[in-house]
Amino acid sequence: MRNVYVLGTGMIKFGRYPEKTVPELGAEAALIALKDAGVTIKDVEMFASGNLYQSNAMVGQRILQQVGQTGIPVINVANACATGSTAFREAYLSVASGMYDIAMAVGVEQMGKAGLLGGGAGGSDPAYSPEGKIGSGLMPAVFGQNGIEHMRKYGTKMEHFAKISVKSHKHATKNQFSQYQNEVSLEDVMNARMVAYPNTLYMCCPTGDGAAAAILVSEDKLKQFAGGRKRARVAASVLTSDPWTERDLTFPDVNTLTKRAAKQAYEKAGLGPEDIALTELHDCFATAELVHYENLYLCKEGEAGKFIDEGGGVHPSLGGKSPVNVSGGLLSKGHPLGATGVANICEVVWHVTQDERAKARQVPNAKAGLAHVIGLGSACTIHILTV
């Protein structure tokens, strides 16, 4: 497999754009990425498009109708919350394999105020639904149950989850692409409306609209187009799904597929958790972020609460260590499903290349970063990017 580099990235501010269409949102991010890369659509040889809500509507082709139709192959990807990152991986593999030299990935979603409620694997199939067995199959409850399990096993407190929300909202004040850029206090989070214990309103990600894009190239094309500019290398690209376990049918396991993906990614990159300067992980709910500290080996099993209490996950400029979701994460940035995976990768790329778009929140001496997304059902992507 060849080395693959991210030549350009593009992202629009996450929010709500009722006056625009999905292809228009995706095209806007694509054009920014093309300009950033210094190439045109005529240079792109393959296009991977990630979108969930219109997955049967040839979104990739419709984006190219906005950007430029050159007859290139288009892959449309739907993989739950990992949709965008899976599209990125398809573009990566197309270049790494040697089939193409320049590929583009776009993740886009238009959700408005739809809310992140839908269940995971199996839909309404009673064999897969926890409804009436251990609680609700709606997403706030599923991840609430995961948080409660951690509380039961390790003595984690509700305050630990709330501290994550406080941290992420503070981070978001430095991110111009975040849907919300407001700080919240610990009391605000703890006393907010309960959605699904222990997740209060501020511990749940907002939904909305968004798009992000990336241009991936081979080493030869990097030399041709980069002009000496620092560009990130994809050191690892991993996609996993759940192995069978006894708990899968009635209690979704959000841990195993991430742990397996993390081990593979660190091995492929030749790095360890201690080498990762920043992590953008899938914090659809505060409870999810906490368990993923352990799943990504940022701390030991059962010590996520201690990790938080000692400043783990907080930007170094705020006195923290091992920063997580310096973008504000999904809790502030928003979670337009198909866009999330590519957006997480963009954030990591900007830090390791010292891009102006992350200047206000730059993690010092960032040489490697990790982007992670899971989708229940299941899919987990992990990308490690280095310079």
Give the residue numbers marked as catalytic.
81, 335
Give how far Cα 15 sits from Cα of 20, 109, 112, Å: 12, 11, 8
Q: How are strands ordered across the β-sheet holding 4-11?
A: 74-77, 46-50, 102-110, 209-218, 4-11, 232-240, 379-386, 368-375, 278-280
Beta bridge partners of 83: none
In the chain, where does DSSP find H-type helix? Answer: 22-37, 59-67, 83-96, 139-154, 158-172, 186-191, 219-225, 256-269, 286-295, 304-309, 329-333, 337-352
Helix, strand, coil % in the chain, rounded to nearest 5? 40, 20, 40
What's the sign of the alpha-carbon dihedral 61, 120, 329, 113? positive
DSSP string for 54-110: TTTS-HHHHHHHHH------EEEE-BTBTHHHHHHHHHHHHHHTTS-SEEEEEEEEE
Beta bridge partners of 103: 46, 216
Angle formed by the axes of helices 83-96 and 337-352, nearest 10°: 60
> What is the Cα–Cα distance from 289 to 254, expressed in whole angstroms?
11
Cβ–Cβ < 8 Å for 280, 315: no
Beta bridge partners of 210: 109
